[in-house]
Amino acid sequence: MTEEATLTAAVPTPAHITESVFYDFDMFYDPAYLADPHKRIQDLLENAPPVFWTPRNGGHWMLVSHTANFEAARDTETFSSEVIPHAQIEAILSQLPADSPPIPRAYPINLDPPLHAKYRQPIQGVFSPKAINKLKESIRKLAGELLDEIVDKGACEFMSAVAQPLPVKVFLKLLGLPVEKFQTYSALVKAHLTATSGDAGEAIGRLQEVANAMRDTILARRDDPRDDLISLLWTIEIDGQPATQQDIENYGVLMFIAGLDTVMQGMGHGVRHLAMNPGLQDELRADPSLISDATEELLRRYTFTVPPRRLNRDIVFEGVQMKKDDRAMLFLPGADLDPNEFPDSNRFELNRGGKPHIAFNAGPHRCLGSHLARVELNILYEEVLARLPKFHLDPERPVKFSGGHIIGVQELYLAWDK
């Protein structure tokens, strides 16, 4: 990972970008952002236009205000999730030789309505709150085991000790993959997280490895179903047709890219906040029933995903001229810190009157795994507070962050009295 991050090159400014909407911000390498991401976001809310265009990373819009994000997320006709149009991808794939290995497609995250619903609807029930609640006890057990390993040490690097392995273990459990695949998937998560080249061929290769590692289990469950998600996927229909092996591999890959590093970073941001706020730890230890409110407020205060979109048409959006094929980022971390939506937005407040955040986005693509994510985060905080004594950041080893589509916590050194 680069220590002294250099900015990506600035591209020339297109003619429709006026000075009043231009703001130079590199969402991958801005130094202040990498030093303390959510502090820099507050600065953007105060000093940058609510919708601006930056010349970095090839040039793109940044939707910062809550209104802009909420509106764009629900206007899928203008703000397309097909960053490369679906028809174009199909055309390229159809040129490949018939015997080349299948290329995984993470449907429905990269599809627009109406095709989007065709791939989302069949798996909606699999992630419903009722289905996910059944996993609670096994998640608690996995969290407890990881924490037991560190509690006597008095210190840990939390990301590698807990935040990274836990979601991988839950993923194996959920899909019904053998525990022996833990090392394989941990390595794949690491490769996915540290990939910097943006090379499409390499990205496809990684997703093929994700699919390869689950193929045996997928085939085994077809003939001998068990109580797991892969078995369940063999029973669903997509648009009236039984799901194929390729469909199931695609869903497995979707869960890998959407459900692992997201939960991991959520845990990182949340536990960092707890480490910096011993008073909050006391309050939650004294009354654990407050932890679910804390989970919500931590998601709001440290919203960390930035989904990309492509403009499907010319539009004047929030008073700003945008052109077809411009790229736009739903900067959800800005939306949830917007003081117009959340008064005194920097303050962590356990009860904001039930006002919902959009850390899981809004509109048709709203996170399908949000119940699972909430359950994982909630249980993790409960077990951390129950098993560890009062913990704090290691003052010698500052927290390291990364930017991009997910604001990541790379290293989080904690310490406590044994």
Partner 1 sequence: MKIRIDKANCVGNARCWAVSESLFPLDDDGYILIEEADVPPGMEAQARRGARACPERVITIIEDDAH
Q: For binding to ligand HEM (CB under 6 A), which residues are involved?
A: 81, 108-109, 120, 254-255, 258-259, 262-263, 266, 305, 307, 332, 359-361, 365, 367-369, 372-373
Virtual CA dihedral for 144, 149, 150, 153, nearest 10 degrees? 140
Nearest-approach distance from CB 68 to partner 1, in angstroms: 16
Helix, strand, coil percent values for the chain (each to nearest 5): 50, 10, 40
The item of ligand HEM, partner 1, none sharing an interface with residue 258, based on CB under 5 to 8 Å by kind, is ligand HEM
- Tell me the DSSP string of 361-409: -SSTTS-TTHHHHHHHHHHHHHHHHHHS-SEEE-TTS--EEE-SSB-EE
Nearer to ligand HEM, 62 or 254 (CB): 254
Burial string for 170-191 (b: 16+ CB within 10 Å, else e) reads bbbbbbbbeeebeebbbebbee
Nearest-approach distance from CB 356 to partner 1, in angstroms: 4
Nearest-approach distance from CB 65 to ligand HEM, in angstroms: 17
Pairing of strands 327-330, 60-63: parallel
At 345, which helix (H) or strand (E)?
Answer: none
The item of ligand HEM, partner 1, none sharing an interface with residue 355, based on CB under 5 to 8 Å by kind, is partner 1
Nearest-approach distance from CB 10 to ligand HEM, in angstroms: 26
Nearer to ligand HEM, 184 or 262 (CB): 262
Where do contacts with partner 1 occur on this chain (CB under 8 A)?
A: 74, 121, 124-125, 127-130, 353-358, 360, 362-364, 366-367, 370-371
- The secondary structure of residue 19, as a DSSP letter, is G
Nearer to partner 1, 129 or 389 (CB): 129
Nearer to partner 1, 56 or 357 (CB): 357
As a whole number of angstroms, the distance between CA 352 and CA 214 comes to 42
Q: Which of 112, 25, 63, 105 minimizes the C-alpha distance to 306?
A: 63
Nearest-approach distance from CB 124 to partner 1, in angstroms: 4
Nearer to ligand HEM, 107 or 413 (CB): 107
